[in-house]
Amino acid sequence: MPWRYNLQCFNCRSQYSTRFTGYHCEKCGGLLEVKFEVSPRRIPWKNRPLAVWKYRELLPIDNERFVTTLAEGGTGLHHCKRLGRELGLKNLYVKNEGENPTGSFKDRGMTVALSKARELRKQRVACASTGNTSASLAAYSARAGLECIVFIPKGKIAAGKMLQVLIHGARIVEVDGDFDQAMEMVVNLTERRKAFYLMNSVNPFRLEGQKTLAFEVHDQLSGKTPDSVVLPVGNGGNISAIWKGFNELQQLGIAKARPRMIGIQAEKAAPIAMAVKNKQDKIQPVKNPQTLATAIRIGSPVNWTKVLCAIRQSNGTALTVADKEILNAQQSLASKEGIFVEPASAASVAGLKRSLDAGLVDKGDLVVCVTTGHGLKDPSIAEHLPRPKSYNLKITDPDWLDRLERQL
Ligand code: F0G
């Protein structure tokens, strides 16, 4: 059984029943969040294996029999010494979320959100997506036996993600437009047809699963708190959820400090970074956002209020990176550390480099970069890599070995 929790408006703090299935406050329109009663107490999960459900007392599922899982979480926190040396950082870690069952961090949220959907007796689930949310939702709804419909911007999602949605048998609505429009459409659908439960990151239960990344990092660093956590930002669900996780650790009395949250966006899809740079307390949506990191090609992030709050409270910041820097970071991480991530994820490493250059991160800091999705999701990146050299050899050529040796 979880510890006591309720639903609360992030903005005006109005309270809602935990069976409330809306996504916004009925009084002020603010985003909702799950509030656990967290105070210092004995931690029951110490000896359990690393996984999302290790922390089940802090996950809002009342009845274990609804839990839908594919063994999510427990991803590696890799000390990256070679890449760190290149950047001048001794303590660089990569939390590689591509190691999740469908290859992205979304699985942390989906296992909880799907379990909640079943607990609330929902039979149909829906989302809009730049790819990973739909891949994850398609898999978890297949696992739970629920009907799934996904709205995706036509021609704008990576091939691997599209394949995942197809193979898991979701119904696909290809939208002639971008992600922000797909999002508007799915919100309209779920408002009109209450039978569809919306699984985007405005769903407060989903974000509870995603906060477990903070708990895992804390455990993997044996209780140390990173100085900075650097991660890509699209809709802003993940940065808000992870910040919430670090806050709960502090409220529990098991972490003394909290990290700075540094959000990274692509140059031409950067409403959050722009608001931070211009010291505005509201974002200005970006029309027609562009980047080859299709996962974060988002102009109107639905969680912007939570993101700006996380950045302000953590004394963090948000920065932009160019597509070229993203590609370079992707190759560095793959070739120096053996970690292959998709472009959006590499934005965290590119952003870390920028933060170091700008003096925003100290060389002595303990830094965790969150890489959010697996590199195999987006094979189109191959065209940006050098072609392999052709040796043109056959085993039937008598001199093939001599010819090869001359070229080695
Ligand atoms: N990285 C990857 C690989 C993503 O797929 C996403 C979001 C993000 C980062 C940004 O996370 O939205 O919580 O700030 N992908 C969503 C999707 C939008 O539909 O798959 P966020």
pLDDT in tens, 182-238: 999 999 999 999 999 999 999 999 999 999 999 999 999 999 999 999 999 999 999
Contact 96, 338 (CB under 8 A): no
Q: Which two tokens stand for residue 295?
A: 């996962």
**C-alpha to C-alpha distance for 404 and 393, rounded to whole angstroms:** 8
The reported pLDDT for the residue numbered 193 is 94
Q: How far apart are the CA of 407 and the centre of ligand 1, in A?
A: 44
Question: Which of the 8 DSSP states describes residue 45?
Answer: T
Question: 9: which strand partners?
Answer: 32
pTM confidence score: 0.97
Q: Which of 240, 253, 273, 234 is nearest to 41 (CA)?
A: 253
Give the residue among 165, 268, 252, 256 at the shortest CA–CA distance from 211: 252
Q: Ligand 1 mean position to 105 CA, how many Å?
A: 8
The rounded distance, in Å, linking the Cα atoms of 93 and 81 is: 8
Specify the pLDDT at position 210: 98
For position 147, what pLDDT does the model report?
A: 98
Alpha carbon of 356 to ligand 1 centroid (Å): 24
Choice from 238, 302, 305 to test ligand 1 binding pocket (greatest atom count within 8 A of CB): 238
The answer to whether 295 touches 185, Cβ cutoff 8 Å, is: no
User: How many whole angstroms from 47 Cα to the centroid of ligand 1?
Assistant: 31
240: closest CA among 325, 180, 318?
318
> Which atom of ligand 1 is least distant from the CA of 232?
9
61, 112 Cβ separation under 8 angstroms: yes
Ligand 1 closest atom vs CA 210: 13
Residue nearest atom 19 of ligand 1, based on CA coordinates: 129
User: What is the DSSP secondary structure assignment for residue 104, as one 8-state letter?
Assistant: B
Q: Which residues of the chain have pLDDT under 70?
A: none
Residue (of 203, 173, 171) closest to 185 by Cα position: 173
In this prediction, residue 218 carries a pLDDT of 98
Check if the beta carbon of residue 344 is closer than 8 Å to that of residue 232: yes
Please give the distance of CA 342 from its chain centroid, rounded to a whole number.
12
Choice from 161, 292, 372, 374 to test ligand 1 binding pocket (greatest atom count within 8 A of CB):
372
Q: What is the pLDDT of residue 365?
A: 98
Which numbered atom of ligand 1 lies nearest the CA of 342? 3
